[in-house]
């Protein structure tokens, strides 16, 4: 094999950035350098677009110190792309790979990136060009099948938890309804992780809505009303992708309810959904103090909020990808398993087709019957992922003074 | 004095919470306990409303350990209020204070709270009731006169800096225009602090707009266009309170430009302004990828993002307030001075009337001529306030590979 596949390694990053995606990149680079028959490690700039543009960095000329510093920096250091290559685009990529004698391609990405890799891999096999293709998982949405969880999710979830822990205190100091819109078009894992913000029984978020359950506006208003009566305040976590039972985004349906809305259905990078829910609550329930925040891009790129567990796993999937390609001479997608109850992980390589383009959703056992919260099972699932040393909140416990 | 004013201390927190406001609370409680003639330290629940409601906690029955834990917890542990007491409301407060034999009142708050305290103090003097009233500064807006800066600002600024450092990387990985709306109705200090996010010359934010300068939509569009041509991307920081030359909020003027807007002019807890700027850029400049985030309440209550310098100063202003009242037997407002260039602070007590209800704005020397950025003078002013150990970002420095 060392003969046949001697040569160059290419690594690239695709799709949305995460806080730990560079750990995987650095894992690939440092592990690949351990193999004597690998004389170059290239990085494609802006993902697959860097391949068709033949825009490569020679990472064998990068210092270990700087690589380690980049590893702890959020967002894709090789920059990214949203390009969704068709067969023709993939053939152009393959042509460039061939011209540079690249025999190993490692792509860090989510559903789309794994599918791209699957096609490139097929093209290479079709013409008998030896090209090892290994997909390295990442996504804050945690929606890759076969994986217990995905690198990037734990750190994003940690940000969501720290946000809601602070918001919970702010909302008790100045009471009212608070709605936070969290990323997640099809999977509610990130929104659901807000459950970890609760410490005391009356802590928020009091209501959690995810795309896996049809969102009914009337039932939602009833939930908010009950919560206000119970606690005098109400904190709501909703996924940007919540839809009605016909699968229509709530932003559209609320708009039809006569709400004042923005014309587009862009979900991220807009406060429209939160504002629509806020306006609906004000109008229908007559509550005065209602606030809405959309966490937006902070949740995937905020500097200084990383799950240590997430970071080390992101590093390991990069290293494992190289080891599978070099020692076993196979293609595939690295997946994370959680074999035991007391947290630990194993890595496996599964066929690209097993992961490519598929979307994982939250299991039923993770969502409560009312469709407005999560179960203890989900709490147990997500708790280890946000890592150690999660900052805590504390309350005064001094007794009331008798009235004079 | 120990005879005359023997008795009880009352402490309360007003207005918007900050990440370090409980440091001031705990500073008051622990310092007051050092004085033998003080046999009770009460805390009013929900600020001045807790006084008219006679809702007090006996903080002399709180453990030091728990007080220290509460000190490191963001948001007002005694809860807060937006009540703006009139003279009659203040008289009722004064009645309760008198009934409980409270001779010291420490109020942690901003402009409004200091004005409330001024009135209560006047009422007490009018009837010859000995009541020491000391205002303890706090506000993330940093807009209290007499103060070089205010407790709470440094930590909020740190959050803004860490946010923009991450956003800058995210926006380079997936390019386009990104607009972030930062808190600040009348003062732009918090928005301007985003300048500290820049490390490399092409880093964002590339454009910064604050309420101290009239916002011209056409000039803004020109600025964005130029930045896109220069860097292929553009990150904008705007204060929620930006207004046109006639002082009308931009949200209203954009609406008149035919933009699709929300009916209210609520600035915080809504994504409306960001979305309106986004829509304007898309429409007028024809740029496709435009995103807008409104940092919202995260910037004042996020758990786990505190400036160590801000925290220790917040503790000290609480301690100093007690010392002024006990040793000097005077009323007033504690202010923070910065005497020398190499950072250090002194504390002083000024008359309540010198601070009460007044608003500080950014000095001209802090804003550039074009009104779309800040100066080195502001950079030097704000850098020490965000504290030590600010997380850094790092880039790959590997050379490009020659095209094959």
Helices (H), A180-271: 189-192, 217-231, 250-256
Q: What is the pLDDT of residue B103?
A: 95
What would the mean pLDDT of B34-51 be, rounded to a whole number? 96
Put simply, the answer to whether A174 touches B80 (Cβ < 8 Å) is: yes
pLDDT at B298: 95
Question: What is residue A2's predicted lDDT score, i.e. its pLDDT?
Answer: 42
Return d(Cα A252, Cα A66) in angstroms, integer: 47
Same domain? A351 vs A368: no
Distances (CA, A) of A388 to A91, A154, B50, B281, B330: 45, 11, 38, 42, 47
Please check the confidence at residue A30 and state whether its pLDDT lies above 60: yes
Of the CA atoms within 13 Å of residue A169, those in its CB half-sphere come to 32
**CB contact set of B46 (below 8 Å; sequence gap of 6+):** B53, B55, B78, B79, B80, B81
pLDDT score of A3 more than 60: no
CATH number at residue B210: 3.40.50.460
Q: Taking a C-beta distance cutoff of 8 angstroms, is the pair B322, B328 a contact?
A: no
Confidence of residue A268 (pLDDT cuts 50, 70, 90): low
- A58 neighbors A45 (Cβ within 8 angstroms): no
Q: Residue A289: what pLDDT? A: 94
Min Cα distance B340 → chain A (Å) is: 31
Query: Which chain B positions have a beta carbon within 8 Å of A43's beta carbon?
Result: 396, 398
Q: Torsion-angle region of residue B52: left (phi > 0), alpha (psi -120 to 50) or beta?
A: alpha
What is the C-alpha separation between A110 and A151, in angstroms, rounded? 10
**Has residue B261 been placed in a domain?**
yes
Q: What distance in Å separates residue A392's CA from the closest CA in chain B?
A: 8
pLDDT at B133 over 90: yes
- Residue range B176-196: mean pLDDT, rounded: 97
Strand partners, B177: B234, B290
Query: Rounded CA gap, A41 and B389, in Å?
Result: 33
Q: Judge if A224 and A338 occupy the same domain.
A: no
Instruction: Please answer yes or no on whether A73 and B278 come within 8 Å at the CB atom.
Output: no
What are A374-389's pLDDT values in tens digits?
A: 999 999 999 999 999 9
The answer to which of A251-255, B9-13, B131-135, B341-345 has the lowest mean pLDDT is A251-255
Q: Are residues A88 and A111 in the same domain?
A: yes
pLDDT of residue A263: 43
Percent of residues, chain B, with pLDDT higher than 90:
88
For residue B182, give the H/E element and its range: strand B177-182
> Choosing among A20, A162, A304, which should be mutated to test the B contact, i.e. which has the most B CBs within 10 A?
A304
Q: What is the DSSP string of A19-63?
A: SSHHHHHHHHHHHHTT-TTEEEEEEETTTHHHHHTT-EEEGGGS-
Q: What is the pLDDT of residue B256?
A: 54
Residue A1 has pLDDT above 70, yes or no: no
Number of structural domains (chain B) is 2
Q: A19-23, A273-277, B34-38, B261-265: which range is least confident on average? A: B261-265
Is A102 in the same domain as A229? no
Greatest C-alpha distance within chain A: 90
pLDDT, position B253: 76
pLDDT tens profile B287-334? 999 999 999 999 999 999 999 999 999 999 999 999 999 999 999 999
Residue in A100, A2, A108 with CA at minimum distance from that of residue A51: A100
- Taking CA–CA distances from A273, the nearest residue in chain B reads B271
* Same domain, residue pair A244 and A381: yes
Q: Which pLDDT score, from 0 to 100, does residue A342 have?
A: 85
% pLDDT > 90, chain A: 88
> A315-325: per-residue pLDDT in tens?
999 999 999 99
Band (pLDDT 50/70/90 cuts) for residue B5 is low
Q: Do A169 and B300 touch (CB under 8 A)?
A: no
Q: Quick one: average pLDDT of A261-290?
A: 80
**Closest residue in chain B to residue A64, using alpha carbons only:** B396
**Same domain, residue pair A187 and A280:** yes
For B83-102, the pLDDT digits (tens) are 988 889 988 999 999 999 99
Q: Which residues of B touch A77 (CB under 8 A)?
A: 394-396
Do A166 and A189 belong to one domain? Answer: yes
Give which of B11, B8, B265 is closest to B113, Cα–Cα.
B11
The reply to whether residue B279 touches residue A262, judged by beta carbons under 8 angstroms, is: yes
Query: Are residue B237 and residue B367 in the same domain, yes or no?
Result: yes
pLDDT band at B262 (very low <50, low <70, confident <90, very high): very low
Name the closest residue on chain B to residue A46, using Cα atoms.
Answer: B173
**CB distance A393–B165 less than 8 Å?**
no
Compute the count of residue pairs across chains A and B with CB atoms less than 8 Å apart.
Answer: 266
Lowest mean pLDDT among A258-262, A330-334, B55-59, B294-298: A258-262
Q: What is the pLDDT of residue A267?
A: 63
Cβ(B149)–Cβ(B345) below 8 Å: no
Q: Report the DSSP pairing between strands B177-182 and B234-239.
A: parallel
Characterize A267-306 residue by residue with b for buried, 16 or more Cβ atoms within 10 angstroms of its Cβ, and e for exposed.
Answer: bbbbbbbbbbbbbbbbeebebeebbbbbbbbbbbbbbbbb
- Identify the CATH number of the domain in which residue B92 sits: 3.40.50.450
Instruction: For residues A379-401, give the mean pLDDT.
Output: 97
Cross-chain Cβ contact A163/B303 below 8 Å: yes
Do the domain assignments include residue B392? no
Across the interface, whether the CB atoms of A166 and B298 are under 8 A apart is answered yes
pLDDT, residue A198, reads 97
Within 8 A of B8 by CB-CB distance, chain A residues are none
Residues present in chain A in total:
404
Residue, of B271 and B333, whose pLDDT is higher: B333
pLDDT at A255: 63
User: Is residue B201 a contact partner of residue B143, using CB atoms and an 8 Å limit?
Assistant: no
Looking at per-residue pLDDT, the higher value among B80 and B1 belongs to B80
Give me the pLDDT at residue A404, please: 78
Q: What is the pLDDT of residues A339-358, one digit of tens each?
A: 877 899 999 999 999 999 89
With beta carbons under 8 A apart, name residues in chain B contacting A401: 42, 56-58, 100
**Residue B401 domain-assigned (yes or no):** no
DSSP code per residue over A321-351: HHHIIIII---EEEEEE--SSSS--EEEEE-
Mean pLDDT for the stretch of residues B228-257 = 89
Write down the mean pLDDT value for chain A: 93
Q: Give, in degrees to the nearest 5, the angle at Cα B158 between B154 and B160.
A: 115
Chain B residue closest to A298 (CA)? B163
Q: Does the distance separating the beta carbons of A77 and B395 come in below 8 Å?
A: yes
Tokens of A275: 């504002």
pLDDT higher than 80, residue B119: yes
Instruction: Report pLDDT digits (tens) over B237-247.
Output: 999 999 999 99
Residue A165, pLDDT > 70, answer yes
Range of the domain at B125: 7-140+304-355
Query: pLDDT tens for residues A185-225?
Result: 999 999 999 999 999 999 999 999 999 999 999 999 999 99
Residues B134 and B158 in one domain: no
Q: What is the pLDDT of residue A271?
A: 85
Q: How far is CA B30 from CA A81, B24, B76, in A?
A: 55, 10, 17
- Disruptive mutation site among A25, A68, A401, A403 for chain B (greatest number of B CBs within 10 Å): A401
Cβ-proximal residues to B341 (8 Å cutoff; 6+ apart), any chain: none
Chain B CB contacts of A47 below 8 Å? none
Q: B-chain residues within 8 Å CB-CB of A178?
A: 269, 297
Task: State the pLDDT at residue B87.
Answer: 83
Residue A1 domain flag? no
Of B83, B141, B223, B275, the catalytic one is B141
The pLDDT, as a whole number, for residue B261 is 36
* Cα A323 from Cα A327, distance rounded (Å): 6
Secondary structure of residue A114 in the 3-state scheme: helix
| A63 within some domain | yes
Nearest CA in chain A to B403: A54
Of A17, A100, A174, the CB nearest to B82: A174
Residue A256: pLDDT band with limits 50, 70, 90: low
Chain A residue numbers touching B302 (CB-CB < 8 A): 162-163, 166
Chain-chain contact of A170 with B297 (C-beta, under 8 angstroms): yes
Query: In this structure, what are the phi and psi dihedrals at residue B56, rounded to the nearest 5 degrees?
Result: -115, 145
Q: Which residues of chain A have a CB within 8 Å of the CB of B169?
A: 17, 73-76, 301, 303
Pair A118, A249 in one domain = no
The closest CB to that of A291, out of B42, B178, B268, belongs to: B268
* A162–B303 CB contact, under 8 Å: yes
Same domain, B121 and B234: no
Query: Which among A70, A167, A393 has the least Cβ separation from residue B73?
Result: A393
Contact A178 B297 (CB under 8 A): yes
Q: A341 with A279, same domain? A: no
Does A169 sit within 8 Å of B17, measured CB to CB?
Answer: yes
Nearest to B61 among A13, A293, A398 (CB): A398
Inform me whether the pLDDT recorded for B259 exceeds 50: no
Residue A208 maps to a domain: yes
């Amino acid at each position: 094999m060392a003969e046949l596949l001697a040569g160059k390694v290419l690594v690239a990053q695709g799709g949305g950035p995460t806080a730990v995606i560079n750990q995987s990149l650095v894992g690939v680079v440092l592990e690949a350098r351990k193999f004597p028959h690998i004389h170059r490690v290239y990085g494609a700039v802006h993902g697959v677009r860097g391949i068709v543009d033949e825009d490569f960095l020679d990472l064998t000329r990068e210092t270990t110190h700087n690589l380690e510093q980049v590893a702890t920096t959020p967002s894709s250091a090789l920059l990214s792309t949203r390009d969704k290559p068709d067969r023709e685009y993939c053939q152009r990529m393959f042509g460039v790979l061939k011209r540079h004698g690249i025999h190993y391609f490692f792509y860090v990405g989510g559903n789309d990136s794994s599918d791209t890799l699957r096609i490139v891999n097929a093209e290479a096999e079709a013409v008998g060009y030896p090209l090892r293709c290994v997909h390295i998982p990442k996504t804050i949405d945690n929606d890759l099948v076969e994986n217990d969880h995905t690198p990037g999710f734990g750190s994003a979830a940690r940000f969501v938890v720290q946000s809601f822990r602070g918001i919970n205190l702010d909302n008790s100091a100045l009471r009212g309804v608070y709605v936070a819109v969290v990323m997640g078009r099809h999977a509610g894992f990130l929104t659901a992780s807000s459950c970890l913000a609760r410490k005391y029984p009356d802590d928020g978020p009091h209501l959690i809505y995810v795309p896996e359950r049809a969102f009914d506006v009337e039932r939602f208003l009833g939930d908010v009303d009950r919560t206000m009566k119970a606690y005098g305040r109400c904190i709501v976590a909703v996924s940007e992708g919540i839809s009605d039972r016909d699968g229509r985004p709530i932003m559209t349906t609320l708009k039809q309810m006569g709400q004042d809305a923005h014309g587009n259905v862009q979900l991220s990078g807009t406060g429209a959904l939160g504002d629509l829910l806020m306006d609906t609550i004000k109008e229908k329930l007559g509550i005065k103090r209602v606030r809405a925040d959309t966490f937006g891009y902070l949740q995937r790129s905020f500097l200084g909020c990383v799950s240590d567990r997430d970071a080390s796993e992101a590093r390991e999937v990069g290293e494992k990808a190289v080891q599978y390609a070099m020692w076993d001479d196979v293609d595939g997608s690295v997946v994370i398993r959680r074999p035991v109850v007391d947290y630990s992980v194993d890595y496996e390589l599964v066929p690209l087709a097993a992961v490519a383009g598929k979307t994982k959703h939250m299991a039923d056992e993770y969502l409560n019957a009312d469709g407005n919260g999560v179960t203890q099972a989900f709490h147990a699932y997500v708790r280890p992922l946000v890592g150690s040393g999660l900052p805590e909140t504390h309350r005064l416990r001094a007794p009331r003074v008798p009235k004079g």
